[in-house]
């Protein structure tokens, strides 16, 4: 049965990518080889860096539909302006001026319904790419990459999460940082969410916001404390008071940070990490079955 796990964190840099990449490897090792990794951090996708052997299998462009006004048909009636909730259309009848401001447009299509004169057309505007990679093990990586300058990250994520292989049993989704719409889009489809945090005041504050979100969207979740040992004890106090499960702790290690820096986390696995992730995988398996 297909199960989807999202890896999220309010604060950036807490270790989402590390956990995602390792989980992919260890789910393959201890659970099933029908596992696929989706890099949903489309603004800054980084999972690929940790798979130097990856081979690109396919690639497609994702477009958004942006409207354009055909001035030869436009009667400057301003009906489209009335329909546009985003103030993206400027029509000035007195000077016969009509134009869509693409940077304000949300591609909702309302103006096409508003226009009774066939003056509203749509054209493709690139928002990013989706690439699929063979990783040697498992069913591979799917990566969304936002076009520089585009603000349509949520739309691209929606496309990425639809792309998983139908044979997949486990889909891992590496979410972007934050607590706003891109994170919701990534988590909305998940059966379980792993929240990766660090025990610092910033980590705690952002975790609290993320937990608020998880409760609002009614998703089961557990917390992984990464860089355990830095910071103070307020994280533990909070999690205990709220009765939130800590599903794993990864001790802070400067050596690990150095391996991460050079992209070598899967080449330097030691016994401690192996047993840590084996436990985590078993734990998840039990939870999801």
Partner 1 sequence: MKIVISSEGAEMNSVFDLRFGRAAYFCVYNEESGITEFLKNEHADDQGGAGTKTSEKMVELGVQKVISGDFGPKAKDILERFNIQMVILPDNNRTVGEIIETLKGK
Partner 2 sequence: MKEITVLSGKGGAGKTSITAALVSLSERAVFCDSDVDAADLHLILKPEVKESYRFDSGYKAIIDSVKCIDCNICKEECRFDAIHTDKGFYEVNPFQCEGCRLCERLCPAEAIVSVKNENNFWYVSNTRFGPLVHARMGPGEENSGKLVTVVRRKAREIARSLNYDFILNDGPPGIGCAAISSLTGTSGVLMVIEPSMSGLHDAKRLLDLINSFNIKSYAIINKHDISNKLTDEIVQFLKNNNIPLLGKIPFDTMFTQAMIEGKSIVELYPEAKSSKVLKKIWDYILVN
CB neighbours of 39 closer than 8 A, spacing ≥ 6?
20, 45, 46, 47, 48, 141, 142, 143, 144, 160, 174
CB neighbours of 287 closer than 8 A, spacing ≥ 6?
192, 220
Choosing from 51, 260, 276, 277, the residue that interacts with partner 2 (CB under 8 A) is 260
Strand order in the sheet with 55-69: 55-69, 120-134, 141-146, 35-39, 170-174, 3-8, 192-197, 221-228, 246-251
The footprint of partner 2 on residues 66-105 (CB under 8 A) is: 83, 85-86
User: What SS3 state is found at 5?
Assistant: strand
Cα separation of the two ends of the chain: 9
Mask for 177-196, x = binds partner 1 (CB under 8 A): --------------------
The footprint of partner 2 on residues 8-37 (CB under 8 A) is: 10-14, 17
Where do runs of H (alpha helix) occur along 86-180?
A: 110-114, 153-160
Q: How far is the CB of 103 from partner 2 (least distance, A)?
A: 9
Q: How far is the CB of 103 from partner 1 (least distance, A)?
A: 8
Tokens of 23: 């989980």
Q: Which does 60 bind (CB under 5 to 8 A by kind): partner 2, partner 1, none?
A: none
Mask for 75-94, x = binds partner 1 (CB under 8 A): -----------xxx-xxxxx
Q: Which does 128 bind (CB under 5 to 8 A by kind): partner 2, partner 1, none?
A: none
189 phi and psi angles, rounded to 5 deg: -90, -5
Quote the CA–CA distance of 103 and 125 in Å, as a whole number: 11
Q: How far is the CB of 195 from partner 1 (least distance, A)?
A: 30
Does position 149 bind partner 1 by CB under 8 A? no
Quote the CA–CA distance of 94 and 157 in Å, as a whole number: 42
Cβ atoms of 30 and 278 within 8 Å: the answer is yes
Q: Which does 101 bind (CB under 5 to 8 A by kind): partner 2, partner 1, none?
A: partner 1
Tokens 């840099």 appear where? 13
Q: Which does 95 bind (CB under 5 to 8 A by kind): partner 1, partner 2, none?
A: partner 1
Q: What is the binding site for partner 1 (CB under 8 A)?
A: 86-88, 90-95, 97, 101, 103-104
Q: What is the binding site for partner 2 (CB under 8 A)?
A: 10-14, 17, 41-44, 46, 49, 83, 85-86, 106-110, 113, 146, 148-154, 158, 176-185, 188, 200-202, 205-206, 209-210, 212-213, 216-217, 230-232, 254, 257-258, 260-263
């Amino acid at each position: 049965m297909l199960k989807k796990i999202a890896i999220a964190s309010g604060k950036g840099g807490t270790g989402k990518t590390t956990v995602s990449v390792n989980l992919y490897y260890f789910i393959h090792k201890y659970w099933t080889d029908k596992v696929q990794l989706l890099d949903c951090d489309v603004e800054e996708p980084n999972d690929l860096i940790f798979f130097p052997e990856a081979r690109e299998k396919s690639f497609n462009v994702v477009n958004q539909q942006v409207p354009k006004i055909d001035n030869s048909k436009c009667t400057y009636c301003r009906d489209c302006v009335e329909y546009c909730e985003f103030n993206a259309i400027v029509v000035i009848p007195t000077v016969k001026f009509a134009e869509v401001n693409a940077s304000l447009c949300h591609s909702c299509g309302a103006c096409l319904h508003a226009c009774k004169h066939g003056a509203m057309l749509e054209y493709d505007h690139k928002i990013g790419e989706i690439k699929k990679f063979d990783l040697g093990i498992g069913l591979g990586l799917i990566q969304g990459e936002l076009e520089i300058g585009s603000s349509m990250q949520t739309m691209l994520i929606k496309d990425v999460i639809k792309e998983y292989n139908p044979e997949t049993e486990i889909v891992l989704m590496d979410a972007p940082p934050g607590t706003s719409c891109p994170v919701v889009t990534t988590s909305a489809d998940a059966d379980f969410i792993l929240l990766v945090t660090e025990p610092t005041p910033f980590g705690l504050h952002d975790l609290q916001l993320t937990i608020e979100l998880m409760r609002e969207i009614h998703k089961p979740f557990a917390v992984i404390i990464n860089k355990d040992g830095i910071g103070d004890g307020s994280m533990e106090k909070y999690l205990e008071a709220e009765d939130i499960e800590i599903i794993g702790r990864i001790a802070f290690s400067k050596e690990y940070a150095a391996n991460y820096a050079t992209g070598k986390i899967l080449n330097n696995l030691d016994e401690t990490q192996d047993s840590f992730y084996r436990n985590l995988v078993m734990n998840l398996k039990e939870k999801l079955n």
